[in-house]
Structure 1
Amino acid sequence: MTITRIGSEPRPSSAFLTVDPDRNGKQSGFVMIPHSPDDDAWGATAVPIAIIKNGSGPTAILEGGNHGDEYEGPITICDMIRDLDPGRVQGRLILMPANNVHAVMAGKRTSPVDGLNFNRTFPGDPRGTITQQISAYVSDHILPLGDAFLDLHSGGSSLDIIPSAIIEPTDDPALHKRNVAAVQAFDAPMTVVISNLGEPRTATAAACRAGLVTVGTEMAGGGTVSLPALQVCRRGVANVLDHLGILARDEPQAERGGGQILELPGASAYVYATADGIFEPFHANGTKVSAGEPAGRIHCTWDPTRAPATLHYSADGILYGRRQPGRVRPGNCCLVVAAPYKGVLS
């Protein structure tokens, strides 16, 4: 597979790497970012990284722990770091299982150090907060090394999502075609185009701007490890690396996905809480739903005289994601609907 790489000059940074990206074999180390909090005058935030390199070939970057309460991707990457024989690799793997490391250690979506969502900080700031410095290092020093980027997400503690591979939109038609091919190679039960309402500060948006073939995932969630989703993640990563020509599969993999590509149809995809209370959903994930149909109710159980607030869908499609905690407040995302993709794939 031919892959085009686009590089850029890095901004000055005090961060440094303890492994050599150009050395053959397997190395494990850290991106070290000097960090001087109240209890550590000359300390550092250590973001784990492993390099597995063998000869020439494409470079794939695998990111996990973008959010600290998403687990299937990091487990998959850590298994590769421990178990993968470098002799099987043709090219290079850059494996980063816990990029939002403080959030990963806390089991939280956002960093407890600065309160930021790592996936809303790209391209980062090498002189900013710790989270901004991590995303800046990934933007300036890691992405330019790569030809492909796999960003392995799950639904986190607040959402349960149908396991799926994600297409990140791009204005580059040639890159879009390569992204679609790589995401279809992942062969998840569902393929979904997600633009995050045009949000440019995500890791996958940054990877597309850098010209990398980009694959995202959403692997179940609910703050737990889903064994079926973990199997989908492991198999899908192996499929994509085989597609890229970096790591051949041990045996052919039977097709699993249904072939249909869905998308989140803008703001109408989301059903938001309108009241403070307990959310009762009316449907299970995968159910066909229609715009205007009742979607669920919010109960104020501490005031039983108050009638429940009924929520409604705003789009036709299938129920793709459902809020996991029952407790909601106004503005919480309760439900997500995916609809057939109307864009151009090639």
Structure 2
Amino acid sequence: MRAAHSPRPSSAFITVDPDRAGKQVGFVMIPHSPHDDAWGVTRVPIAVIKNGHGPTVILEGGNHGDEYEGPITICDMIRDLDPAEVQGRLILMPANNVHAVIAGTRTSPVDGLNFNRTFPGDPRGTITQQIAAYISDNIYPIGDAFIDLHSGGSSLDIIPSAIIEPTDDPELHRRNVAAVRAFDAPMTVVISNFGEPRTATAAACRSGLVTVGSEMGGGGTVSLEALGVCRRGVRNVLAHLGVLAHHKGTSLRGDSQILELPGTSAYVFASADGVFEPFHANGATVSAGQPAGRIHCTWDPTRPPDLLHYAADGILYGRRQPGRVRPGNCCLVVAAPYRGVLA
């Protein structure tokens, strides 16, 4: 935990005491006054499990509302973990983008915002911005590490993987890499999100938190394989950080190779309105210039399909789930061997 700071003025309040020992389950309450509720609140679920001495680890799920393995994993921990198993403190938040979680959508149906593009938020902004601000101002400062659990959501099917968030701090980078490797997913990937600074993991790194990301399957479903990877990986990281004891079932299984998304060349975007036909399955080895798929305009059979090509060598890491596409949709994602420095 770092030095205390003064959070920005906010009307949000919390129903649990983060400093109290034991297990508490409650809500971050953000006053919300829509048409049908003059003095209502948006309730963001939060649990605190505190015991003994050790680091504080924040676990986030539901950053996007159509990503399910992370929230299931966190809810299981809230119900099942005995405080006596913990050395330190867990702050468990399974549904941060709560309106989107309830709706099963990527973005909030209240204000249309992508929660993962709002950090550090605005305590006087829309509901999504206020949630991000509360986490930035009140949750990150009491933490030592942050585990952010994602999947491909409704639009992508992604190989289950642990994610390294880039940072300019060499020591934090070293600690991030060690924690991500401890997750021990089938694949480890460095993802910068086009250099986007408004994500939860980018904000966590700026706050000095050891940061672990993940991408667990997707396609708008719950993958049993990905859920198993997620459950095991979270416990592996918590054991690595000293919050939980090592136990059977945490043995290494991942590939030691670390991959990255090689800039904008990693992505294959739709060039036309139509139905996307991919040519390869996730995990296939592909090369720049190779045909990647085609887009059919099925309502105009006189128009030949648009042929798409890969722009990078590597393996197919993610593939669009819905067949229907429009120009600019991400259809395919390629990961390549990481060329940066790991230590």
* TM-score range relative to shorter protein: over 0.9
Counterparts of 1:251-330 in structure 2, within 5 Å, are: 251=248, 253-330=250-327
Q: Following the alignment from structure 2 to structure 1, what is the Cα–Cα distance between the partners of residues 246 and 253?
A: 16
- Secondary structure (helix, strand or coil) at the match of 2:205 reads helix
Residues 15-49 of structure 1: CA deviation (Å, up to 9, x unaligned): 00100000000000000000000000000000000
Moved over 6 A (4+): none
1:61 shift after superposition: 0.2
The structural deviation recorded for 1:7 is: 5.1
Alignment check: 8 A CA contact 1:272 1:330 kept: yes
> Is contact 1:6–1:210 with CA below 8 Å preserved after alignment?
no
Q: Distance in 1 between matches of 2:271 and 2:113?
A: 25
Verify: 1:49 aligned to 2:46, yes or no: yes
Residue-by-residue CA offset, 1:97-148 (whole Å, 9 max, x unaligned): 0000000000000000000000000000000000000000000000011000
State the alpha-carbon separation in 2 of the partners of residues 251 and 21 from structure 1: 30
Q: Is 1:215 paired with 2:206?
A: no
Pairing 1:127–2:111 present: no
Q: Indicate the residue corresponding to 1:28 in structure 2.
A: 25
What is the root-mean-square deviation in Å for CA atoms of aligned residues? 0.8
How far does residue 260 in structure 1 lie from its aligned partner after superposition?
0.4
Deviation of 1:254 after TM superposition, in Å, equals 1.9
Native 8 Å contact 2:60 2:94 kept in 1: yes
Seen in structure 2, the aligned counterparts of structure 1 residues 178 and 7 have a Cα distance that, compared at 3 Å, is farther
Give 1:319's aligned amino acid: L
Residue 241 of structure 2 is aligned to residue 244 of structure 1: yes
Aligned residues: 343
What amino acid sits opposite 1:172 in the alignment?
D
Listed as ranges, the gaps of 5+ residues in structure 2 are: none
1:250 Cα offset (Å): 2.8
Partner of 2:82: 85
- Whether 1:19 aligns to 2:16 is yes
Shift of 1:6: 5.7
Q: Secondary structure at the match of 1:23?
A: coil
CA distance in 2: counterparts of 1:321 and 1:116, whole angstroms: 23
Q: Percent identity?
A: 83
Select 1:149's aligned residue among 146, 150, 161. 146
Look up the match of 2:160.
163
For the pair 1:235 / 2:254, whether they are aligned, the reply is no
Conserved? CA contact 2:286–2:313, under 8 Å: yes
Q: What is the Cα deviation at residue 255 of structure 1? A: 1.1
Alpha carbons 2:274, 2:297 under 8 Å: kept: yes
How does 1:61-210 map onto structure 2 within 5 Å? 61-210=58-207
The AA in structure 1 aligned to 2:37 is: D
Query: How far apart are 1:56 and its partner, in Å?
Result: 1.7
Aligned-pair CA distance for 1:301: 0.3
CA distance in structure 2 between the partners assigned to 1:255 and 1:141 by the alignment:
35
> How many Å separate the matches in 2 of 1:235 and 1:110?
28
Distance in 2 of aligned mates of 1:168 and 1:145 = 20
Name the amino acid aligned to 1:333: C
Q: Which runs of 5+ in 1 are unaligned?
A: none
Check the 8 A contact 2:50/2:90 in 1, yes or no.
yes
TM-score, scaled to structure 2: 0.99
After superposition, the Cα gap between the structure-2 partners of 1:164 and 1:251, relative to the gap in structure 1 and judged at 3 Å, is same
| Deviation by residue 1:259-293 (Cα, 9 ceiling, x = unmatched) | 00000001000000000000000000000000000
Between the aligned partners of 1:205 and 1:6, the Cα distance in structure 2 is 20
CA distance in structure 1 between the aligned counterparts of 2:330 and 2:6, rounded to whole angstroms: 39
